[in-house]
Amino acid sequence: MKIIKIAALCLLSCMLSACPKQSEEYITLVNNSKQDIVFQEYRKRNITSVDTLFLCRVGAVEIPKGSSSLVHSVDDTGWKADFNIILCLQFLIMDSETYSQYMYEPCDTIRKYVPILHHYRVSLADMEQANWTIVYPPEEKESF
């Protein structure tokens, strides 16, 4: 009987100390355009309009036309926890071919010759509404 009580207490403590449900682990970026693109992600507390510039020494991730890429949250707690720290997240979209020509040039050269095709500035509410998916080119109903 004593063993059953101990086992029940162990089971109860395991159930009560279980990890909280993890929020969405990935944001999916979908490239529905007719060209390969690259994106650069920017996670900072305070994003201003100046921050729509290409960031030096960060690089960019390619998404071939007709495919998608997953952007992982900072840690295992998921994107909801990340958005408690950062109010919004920014993605800069650029043409892959143009970026490839200038990617090893000085930053001011990249900013001059590699135009930003689109920038997304998204909040937690935006991502929940869009089912954690960002589509390029923007769909008409997107508000971010």
Domain ranges in the chain?
A: 21-136
Q: Is the dihedral of CA 104, 109, 115, 116 positive or negative?
A: positive
26-69 pLDDT, tens per residue? 999 999 999 999 999 988 766 665 556 788 878 899 999 999 99
- Is residue 94 within 8 A of residue 60, CB to CB? The reply is yes
- Residue 24's pLDDT is 87
- Residue 144's pLDDT is 64
DSSP, res 132:
T
72-117 pLDDT, tens per residue? 998 888 999 999 888 889 999 999 999 999 999 998 999 999 999 9
Q: Which residue has the tokens 């490839």?
A: 100
- Is residue 143 within 8 A of residue 135, CB to CB? The reply is no
Structure tokens that stand for 43 in this block: 């996670």
User: What distance in Å separates the CA atoms of residue 100 and residue 27, rounded to the nearest whole number?
Assistant: 24
pTM of the model: 0.78
Q: Is the dihedral of CA 141, 45, 32, 27 positive or negative?
A: negative
Structure tokens that stand for 97 in this block: 């071919």
- Residue 43's pLDDT is 82
- Residue 71's pLDDT is 95
pLDDT at 129 over 90: yes
Q: How confident is the model at residue 13 (pLDDT cuts 50, 70, 90)?
A: low
- Residue 76's pLDDT is 80
pLDDT at 14 over 80: no
pLDDT at 7 over 70: no
Residue 68 burial by CB count (10 A; 0-12/13-18/19+): exposed, middle or buried? middle
- Residue 48's pLDDT is 61
